[in-house]
Amino acid sequence: MKTKLIKPVIAMFFLFVPITFFGQMKITHTDTILKTGWYNVSNQETVFKRQLDKSSEFYYINPEVKVPVEQFEELRIIENEYNGNKYLSLVIRFNRNGTENWSNATKESIGKQMALIIDDKLVSAPRVNAQITTGVSSLYNPDYSKEDLEELLKLIGITDKAIYLPAPQLDGLVSVEKALHDRRSRRDFQDKEISLENLSQILWSAYGITFPINDIPFLRGGLRTAPSAGGLYPLEIYVAVGKVHGLPTGLYKYVPDGHKLLSIINEDIRSELCIAAIGQPMVKEAPVSIVYTAIFSRTTDKYGQRGRERYVCIDLGHSAENVYLQVESLGLGTCASAAFSDEKMSTLLQLPKDEEPLYLMSIGHNKRQD
């Protein structure tokens, strides 16, 4: 791979889209993650020409909508298997600004083409089939070795900033029946930290991956602890950390694929969270709260209005009950809360426009056992 062609990656326009491709480029579209052919950029003039030859209607779309490298949040190499063939992909996750740009760009370009430009050269021009609302994309080129991809990562200068959580335990001391029997909404918490292991276990129970599947991109890593209509997993989970042993205070996002957290805000947001939750004291007092949001379009794109009115909230109920039971079995307490200002919550969590807050669960050590 000729690195000089990639260096000014700042000049990258992001593209990635579903679909139609030319020559050696292969694109598999899914609702959420795109795979685009990734070719030898040292030979891009040829590729460019070939594209032009094959596409009589080539043009640039939205050249002003850029997703520059600063808006990448995470880059990593993954190994996938598809139809029995193993291949390497470079997965890019955008930060919030990147996701918004990405979402806008794809929305405005439906039915048209976008361009990926590296170093002022056109690298690809896929046709946009659907608005892409997540900030995840995946680039694939069968010709590239792991070393090539690692070299690109180094050039771009972004490393994986994720915080990997301890592996969940698959056995506990409390039976499901006992947890069901003892479960209560508990609102009085001690001023005491919870362990990272417990937080990990709770997040895993909520949406953790239990059956990894890498070749169906919309699953975003595989099947989960909670069922979801169509396996579309519309929920996202944020974690407001006040007192968790070994984890700096702040706001994080849980990423089931890899069982990890991405940092969003580096300060304790519990007071603001409490204000957003119309002043409910437990929200400020709990060492940690999780906030469920939903990207409804993941489900409504397939199921329409029924998805909005029913499926997303049914999915949420499954996941939240897992949390109730897991928390109970860990000897901790939680209370779910739907009473909050949507607007304040969205602002506090810095949610993109297509993501809506739905549920808050404050978690901690119970003051009393009742």
Ligand X SMILES: Cc1cc2nc3c(=O)[nH]c(=O)nc-3n(C[C@H](O)[C@H](O)[C@H](O)COP(=O)(O)O)c2cc1C
| Residues forming the site for ligand X (CB under 6 A) | 184-185, 187, 280, 335-339
Sorted by sequence, the CB contacts under 8 Å of residue 46 that are 6+ apart come out as none
| Residue number with CB closer to ligand X (170 or 339) | 339
Q: How far is CA 104 from the centre of its chain?
A: 17
Question: 36: helix, coil or strand?
Answer: strand
Strand partners, 288: 241, 363
Instruction: Confirm if 277 and 340 have CB atoms less than 8 A apart.
Output: yes
In whole angstroms, the minimum distance from the beta carbon of 139 to ligand X comes to 41
Sorted by sequence, the CB contacts under 8 Å of residue 67 that are 6+ apart come out as 12, 13, 14, 94, 98, 101, 102, 105
In whole angstroms, the minimum distance from the beta carbon of 193 to ligand X comes to 22
| Residue number with CB closer to ligand X (176 or 338) | 338
In whole angstroms, the minimum distance from the beta carbon of 293 to ligand X comes to 15
In whole angstroms, the minimum distance from the beta carbon of 156 to ligand X comes to 43
Using the 8-state DSSP alphabet, how is residue 256 labeled?
T
Taking residue 117's Cβ as centre, other Cβ atoms within 10 Å add up to 20
| Residue number with CB closer to ligand X (54 or 181) | 181
CA distance 138 to 142: 13
| Residue number with CB closer to ligand X (185 or 210) | 185
Instruction: Confirm if 113 and 66 have CB atoms less than 8 A apart.
Output: no
Instruction: Confirm if 3 and 155 have CB atoms less than 8 A apart.
Output: yes
In whole angstroms, the minimum distance from the beta carbon of 199 to ligand X comes to 21
Instruction: Confirm if 307 and 300 have CB atoms less than 8 A apart.
Output: yes
| Residue number with CB closer to ligand X (122 or 335) | 335
| Residue number with CB closer to ligand X (173 or 339) | 339
CA distance 83 to 216: 11
| Residue number with CB closer to ligand X (134 or 289) | 289
Residue of 151, 152, 140 whose CA lies nearest to 72: 152
In whole angstroms, the minimum distance from the beta carbon of 320 to ligand X comes to 8
CA distance 219 to 217: 5
Helix, strand, coil abundance in the chain, percent, nearest 5: 35, 25, 40
| Residue number with CB closer to ligand X (52 or 180) | 180
In whole angstroms, the minimum distance from the beta carbon of 63 to ligand X comes to 46
Region of residue 290 (left: phi > 0; alpha: psi -120 to 50; beta: else): beta
| Residue number with CB closer to ligand X (125 or 316) | 316
Sorted by sequence, the CB contacts under 8 Å of residue 154 that are 6+ apart come out as none
In whole angstroms, the minimum distance from the beta carbon of 295 to ligand X comes to 20
